[in-house]
Amino acid sequence: MARCFIGVMLPEGLKGSIATVKEELKRLPLKCKFVERENLHICLSFLGEVEDVKNVSEGLGLVCKDCQKFEVSIDGIKIIPNDSYIRVLALDVIDKTGNLEGIRKEIGKRIGGKSNPSHLTLCRVKTIDEKVKTVERIKSIKTDELSFTVSAVQIIKSELRKTGPIYTPISEVQLK
């Protein structure tokens, strides 16, 4: 069995720009676990322990069989679930085509798993000092809109280690 999720790994070229946002967040009075540079991704569905990866891969192939490549943008910090109870700081994923959301919903129907609206997690928050001021500072952080083409969707194995998770794509469906 393998602990897996379905997602879109971020292109290497965007990771440096996202590192700049993470550096600004590191200056704030919060304790959190940042997502490692190599693990930056957009999660479409967290599957948990998967016994039959081949079956999931076939399902993902059916979900994506008619999907064309499409553009998404990443911009603006999102506080999840809300300003009062902060668990995650993420970048918002803007999908003007609606394709990413369509794929996410179809994965939920055909394959299952836990799925939330698309976002790119920057960190998981443990505690925040001076919450009201810190939220104001988070909201004042300016981000550059970054765009990229989604050309594939991956099944990604997540191995939990003391040093942090290791994500390994184990199956990939190319979009047309």
- In degrees and rounded to multiples of 5, residue 110 shows phi and psi of -85, -35
pLDDT in tens, 100-111: 999 999 999 999
Domain count, the chain: 1
Q: Find all residues with CB under 8 Å of 45, minimum gap 6, and list them.
A: 5, 6, 7, 104, 107, 108, 111, 112, 113, 114, 115
pLDDT in tens, 150-176: 999 999 999 999 988 999 999 999 999
Which whole number is the average pLDDT over 119-127?
96
- In degrees and rounded to multiples of 5, residue 96 shows phi and psi of -65, -20
User: What is the distance between the alpha carbons of residues 73 and 172, in angstroms, rounded to a whole number?
Assistant: 21
Domain around 80: 2-174
**Domain at 162, CATH number:** 3.90.1140.10
Res 111: pLDDT: 96
Q: Which residues are catalytic?
A: 41, 119
Cα angle vertex 101, ends 5, 39, to 5°? 35
Res 60: pLDDT: 97
Res 1: pLDDT: 87
Torsion of CA 118, 120, 123, 126, to 10 degrees: -10
Q: What is the DSSP letter of 51?
A: S
Res 18: pLDDT: 94
Handedness of CA 39, 40, 42, 43 (dihedral sign): positive
pLDDT in tens, 26-78: 999 999 999 999 999 999 999 999 999 999 999 999 999 999 999 999 999 99
Res 157: pLDDT: 97
Tokens of 25: 């967040």
